[in-house]
Amino acid sequence: MKVIIAVEPTKPDIYSYSVAELEEIVVSRFNQPKFRGKQIFQWLYKGISAFQEMSNLPQEFRDRLEREFRFGHLSLIKKHISQDQTEKYLVACADHHRIEIVKMEYHHGISACLSTQVGCKMHCAFCASGKDGFFRNLTAAEMIEQILFIQAQTKKRVASVVLMGSGEPLDNFEEVSKFFQLVHDEDGLNLGYRHITLSTCGIVPKIADLAQLNIPITLAISLHAPTDEIRSILVPINRKYPIKQLLQACHDYVAVTKRRITFEYSLIQNINDSPKMAEKLAYLLQNLLCHVNLIPVNSTLADFSATKTSNVQEFQKILQSHGVNATIRRTLGDDINAACGQLKCSFNDRQVN
């Protein structure tokens, strides 16, 4: 067994920079024409892994770039393939922290489920991601590199992204915001904002900050209960930002962005799956532009059982009878622990077998 000690990389990751930042760097630091910045940026998204592959840059300039920057990369440790062809990758970052990434395939193309943190601080009761604690935020570059990793593995373009892996995206707001800018750039991955979903457990002030960005991503709220008593057990952040505050933030978000919000609701047997709970949820969400994703809770270390299929269907009917749009989410990757709430960082013991 080999023990790896995490060492912080000394050179900055070239994927960290926007076109404008690279243009400023090539002029001020390297005394190169401004257009070289865009050339570098465009090369980064063509599947290359070394500065020497940037064939339209002068050789001396490539050598200097190589000395002063590094290509961020994720190293594959383990790959799991589900019966439904969902793929989960355990990868190591440059400093040897581990994260998990999931590739899902739909009729419209490949969707990438990305992590935004190593571990998580939120400690939601049914989620495995925070069980081993919180280690650090991921950078915007490392989020970009997760997409590039999946594209390299599959030889296909990623068509949509969900920030639903390990971590709470709004707890890493600055880097996630930069990720939006980088992933949307037409000279890079050119991913439309409407093909990006951000899932949060409900950090109210950051929902307001996200609204001010006013970009047409899909906001998904992990609600999971219609009462503060139950939600505070399942989603501890509710003790700081209770349901009334959260829903007001959602109303404000819709008013600014005009975008429909998705509420994720994991149904847990004998806890939040009763018809009475469905009635309470319908009352909460009336007059709000929203959609509810009903998810039979996936197995984790938590001692919860998924509700019966008949209960899920009845819950859906009750919501719909009150005018609340609701669907039952198709679960992918459950057999390889790649479904909602199952990603984790239990490999962060710095050991690789």
Q: Which residues carry out catalysis?
A: 100, 340
Q: Is 175:198 a contact under the CB 8 Å cutoff?
A: no
DSSP one-letter string for 53-117:
G-TTS-HHHHHHHHHH-B----EEEEEEE-TTS-EEEEEE-TTS-EEEEEEEEETTEEEEE--SE
Distance CA 85, CA 71 (A): 30
Tell which residue, 308, 326, 322, 176, has the closest CA to residue 260. Answer: 326
DSSP annotation of 12 reads P
And the tokens for 147? 């997409």
Q: Give the distance from CA 247 to its chain's centroid.
A: 22
| DSSP tag of 349 | T
Q: What one-letter code names the amino acid at 285?
A: L
- Specify whether the CB–CB gap between 266 and 307 falls below 8 A: no
Whole-angstrom Cα distance, residue 133 to residue 12? 26
DSSP letter at 329 equals: P
Amino acid identity, residue 72? Answer: G
